[in-house]
C-alpha cells in the first residue's frame, strides 16, 4: 500500500518524508481505529483510507516528529473510523452534536487570552468541534479541505468551526475572561 500512497506525492524529498510519517504513525493510527471500530480488518481499512487522505494533502505537513503532525494523523484516523461506523450502521445519525446555529464570536477573543487558558479551554471542547477548529486555525485547512478530510459537507465544516468558536468563547467567559 505504501507504493500507492507514494504515487500521490510528486517530489522525491516528500516521498522520503512520507515514508517516515508512515513508519512513525501507522501503529498509532491502527490503535486509534481499533479503539473505535473493534475490528482488525475495518481498522486496517480505516488506516489505509487515512493515509490516502494524508498523502493527498501532504503538502500541508511540516515536520514529521512533532505534536502537530501526530495530532493531525489522529484526527484524520478518528474521523475516518467514525465515518465507517456511520456508513455501516444505517440507523446512525451523521451529526452527533446537533446544536442551534450561533453567530460567530469575534476572533479577537483568541488573541487576548493567555495561551494556558486557551489551551485548557480548547481541550474541553467535544472532539468533533476541537478537530475542526484545529484543522482550520492550527493547520490552516480551508473548509473544502476539512470537508474532504472529515467526509462531511462544506457547510458542516463551517458550522463545526463556528460552533467550536462559540463554545470556546462561552468556556472562556466561564473562566472569567470577558471580551468587550
Q: What b/e sequence results for 41-68 when a residue is b if at least 16 CB atoms lie within 10 Å of its CB, and e otherwise?
A: ebbebbbbbbbbbbbebbeebeebeeee
Domains and CATH numbers, the chain: 1-92 (1.10.1740.10), 93-180 (1.10.10.10)
Helix (H) or strand (E) holding 13: helix 12-37
**pLDDT tens for each residue of 55-113:** 988 888 889 999 889 989 999 999 899 888 877 764 333 333 223 223 334 444 444 44
The pLDDT, as a whole number, for residue 99 is: 30
The pLDDT, as a whole number, for residue 179 is: 59
pTM check: above 0.75? no
The conformational region for residue 102 under phi > 0 = left, psi -120 to 50 = alpha, else beta, is beta
Alpha carbons 119 and 90: distance in angstroms, whole number: 36
**pLDDT tens for each residue of 1-35:** 788 888 888 889 999 999 999 999 999 999 999 99
**pLDDT tens for each residue of 104-146:** 344 444 444 455 667 778 888 898 898 888 888 877 889 998 9
What mean pLDDT, rounded, does the chain reach? 81
The pLDDT, as a whole number, for residue 21 is: 95
pLDDT band at 42 (very low <50, low <70, confident <90, very high): very high
3-state DSSP assignment of residue 103? coil
The pLDDT, as a whole number, for residue 31 is: 94
Q: Are 131 and 78 in contact (CB under 8 A)?
A: yes
Question: What single-letter DSSP state applies at residue 105?
Answer: P
The pLDDT, as a whole number, for residue 123 is: 80
The pLDDT, as a whole number, for residue 122 is: 81
Which residue, chain included where needed, has cell 484516523? 77
Amino acid at each position: 500500500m505504501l507504493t500507492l500512497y507514494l504515487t500521490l506525492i510528486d517530489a522525491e524529498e516528500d516521498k522520503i518524508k512520507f515514508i517516515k510519517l508512515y513508519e512513525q504513525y501507522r501503529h498509532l493510527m491502527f490503535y486509534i481505529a481499533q479503539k473505535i471500530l473493534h475490528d482488525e480488518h475495518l481498522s486496517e481499512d480505516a488506516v489505509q483510507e487515512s493515509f490516502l487522505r494524508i498523502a493527498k494533502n501532504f503538502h500541508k505537513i511540516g515536520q514529521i516528529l512533532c505534536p502537530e503532525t501526530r495530532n493531525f494523523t489522529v484526527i484524520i484516523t478518528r474521523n475516518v473510523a467514525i465515518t465507517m461506523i456511520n456508513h455501516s450502521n444505517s440507523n446512525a445519525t451523521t451529526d452527533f452534536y446537533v446544536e442551534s446555529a450561533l453567530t460567530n464570536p469575534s476572533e479577537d477573543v483568541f488573541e487576548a487570552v493567555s495561551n494556558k487558558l486557551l489551551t485548557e479551554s480548547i481541550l474541553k471542547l467535544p472532539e468533533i468541534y476541537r478537530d475542526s477548529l484545529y484543522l482550520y486555525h492550527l493547520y490552516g485547512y480551508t473548509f473544502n479541505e476539512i470537508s474532504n478530510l472529515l467526509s462531511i459537507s462544506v457547510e458542516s465544516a463551517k458550522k463545526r468551526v463556528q460552533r467550536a468558536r462559540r463554545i470556546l468563547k462561552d468556556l472562556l467567559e466561564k473562566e472569567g475572561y470577558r471580551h468587550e
